[in-house]
Amino acid sequence: MVEPTTARAVEHAARAAYGRLVAWLGGRSRDLAGAEDALADAFAAALANWPRDGVPARPEAWLLTAARRRMIDAARRRRTREAAVPTLLLAGSDDAEHDFPDERLKLLFVCAHPAIDPAARTPLMLQMVLGLTAAAIASAFLVSPAAMGQRLARAKEKIRAAGIGWRIPEPADLPERLDAVMQAIYAAYGTGWDDAAANPLADEAIWLARMLTDLLQGAPEPLGLLALLLFCESRRPARRDAAGDFVPLSRQDTARWSIPMLDEARRLLTRAGALGQPGRFQLEAAIQSVHAARRETGGTNWEAIALLYEGLHAVAPTIGVAVGRAAALAEARGTATGLAALDAIDAIDGAAVAAYQPYWALRSTLLRRLGLDKSDAHARAIALTSDPALIAFLRAAPR
């Protein structure tokens, strides 16, 4: 049995550096599958060696060295000219002795190559860059783990077989890849936002969004994405009370929101809006900006939020946006209007609704307000939640 301290050190290294490690290894070997396998072996070696030798001062460098050696050994065993290329590329570098470069943004654009199935691009980025498991990704995309595993395997094989270039595309090629990259960063943030224990994922997503705005200076949607993440992150301290209980947005103490983050988010959104090219992430950031205004006004302009959701739903008709729109309509134009909007979602995509927790949580609330039976919706909302604090909040909600 692995000592708890060692297990925690390995887990921390995996969360903090998985994406950077696999990007570095894959970038030099042009072999994503081999990079993943070698890194898995390196983590296994850490679990075996660190209890005996102690956790190294620089765990990431130790893991990189171990994984690189495994890739070199594997390439030499294959004894082919093609396999010698990653051997030379890996062996000729001394990055393990220094701070190795952060190539995650490059890997994001590799995974967004147009030759890869569009349905696999964002999941592939979440696994390769942030180390999420196929099961976790499947849950976020409302599909089975087996189906997601097959989707990811096919995408990796496509990269290997097609010899997809390991580079950030030329400016003319960016538009067809940019949206998938931004979706992956946003999805990564959502994973870290929902799970308090996965906070590093939220931090990584914000860092990647900053890298993206640096790469594409003057592009409005990356600015909107970063603004959106900062608006949301500014509220993190208020999402739990002193006892660790969940606090919904409407009840949060705005004095606990981060003023520097709010100010930066507003500046970014203003810069994006001045470019005159509105898009999904700018609209989502604008919605969060209206929520943020409650800190100064003491109230929420629900009609403004409902109108912004109408525009957002027109350009990004996802189930998450549709549920958010229904919630805004309920507040701005009456509970019955919001419930009708929810019913419309169910009629269009009942399969997605069945596994989407926010739908059932909102439905339970709206049914209660109308004095209707909410028991089924309430039970489903609880069953689809894994966060203990949120479960406790839902169970304590008025019957």
Which helix (DSSP H) or strand (DSSP E) does residue 76 occupy? helix 59-78
What's the average model confidence in pLDDT over 210-229?
A: 93
Based on DSSP, count helices (H) and strands (E) in the chain, helices before strands.
21, 0
- Percent of the chain's residues with pLDDT above 70: 87
pLDDT at 206 over 90: yes
Please give the sequence-ordered ranges of beta strands (E in DSSP) within the chain, or none if there are none.
none
For residue 198, give Cα distances in angstroms to 5, 11, 20, 191, 245: 18, 11, 17, 7, 17
Q: Which residue has the higher pLDDT, 116 or 168?
A: 116
Q: Which residue has the higher pLDDT, 354 or 230?
A: 230
What's the average model confidence in pLDDT over 104-118?
A: 85
pLDDT at 222 over 80: yes
- Percent of the chain's residues with pLDDT above 90: 41
pLDDT at 197 over 90: no
* Contact yes or no for 316/280 (Cβ under 8 A): yes
For the entire predicted model, the pTM comes to 0.80
Whole-number pLDDT of residue 291: 98
Whole-number pLDDT of residue 330: 98
Q: Could you tell me the pLDDT band of residue 80, with boundaries at 50, 70 and 90?
A: low
Distance, CA of 311 to CA of 290 (rounded, Å)? 15
Q: Could you tell me the pLDDT band of residue 239, with boundaries at 50, 70 and 90?
A: very high
Nearest to 222 by CA among 205, 209, 236: 209
Nearest to 18 by CA among 228, 201, 173: 201
pLDDT at 106 over 90: no
Position 235, amino acid: R
**Average pLDDT of the chain, as a whole number:** 84
